[in-house]
């Protein structure tokens, strides 16, 4: 079992996530915040849309947004087309945090892939992308 793709991907994912969390900690962020920053980089979104995209419940997304709001990374604004609805948008500080997280993610990738050559790393990215697409994982924004 320990040599199955699922097992190896799971263990590698745990390692990658843990190392990324260590890199993010000085910014006051956790890996789960990065998905929110990335999703909102495409423009303001409704809270429920965000919860669905990130794969968490509405109550969890509220907690995540509260944490990001404390950091000054996001703000809640009224939807101009439907005043009952709130949209979430990145602030300038949030856009800067996103830029920093992208840089840290790239550094994390470089460290994780240092045992293989660049051609193998490119092939791995391409293969993982095809597998992700085949099971319905999509990139956003």
Judge whether 31 lies within some domain: yes
Judge whether 141 lies within some domain: no
Judge whether 140 lies within some domain: no
Tens of pLDDT along 25-59?
Answer: 999 999 999 999 999 999 999 999 999 998 899 99
Answer whether 0.75 is exceeded by the pTM. Answer: yes
Judge whether 65 lies within some domain: yes
Cβ distance 21 to 30 under 8 Å? Answer: yes
Q: How confident is the model at residue 83 (pLDDT cuts 50, 70, 90)?
A: confident
Number of domains, the chain: 1
Residue entry with tokens 């993610």: 105
CATH number, domain containing residue 70: 1.10.10.10
Judge whether 102 lies within some domain: yes
Crossing angle of helices 31-40 and 58-70, rounded to 10°: 90
Q: Which domain holds residue 62?
A: 5-135
């Amino acid at each position: 079992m320990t040599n199955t793709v699922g097992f190896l991907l799971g263990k590698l994912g745990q390692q990658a996530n843990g190392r990324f969390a260590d890199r993010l900690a000085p910014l006051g962020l956790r890996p789960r915040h990065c998905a929110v920053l990335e999703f909102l980089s495409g423009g303001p979104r409704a809270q429920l849309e965000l919860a669905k995209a990130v794969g968490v419940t509405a109550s969890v997304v509220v907690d995540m947004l509260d944490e990001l709001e404390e950091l000054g990374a996001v703000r809640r604004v009224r939807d101009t087309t439907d005043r009952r609805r709130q949209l979430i948008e990145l602030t300038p500080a949030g856009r800067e945090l996103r830029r920093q997280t992208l840089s840290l993610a790239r550094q994390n990738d470089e460290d994780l892939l240092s045992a293989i050559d660049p051609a193998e790393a490119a092939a791995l990215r391409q293969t993982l992308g095809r597998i992700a697409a085949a099971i319905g994982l999509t990139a956003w924004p």
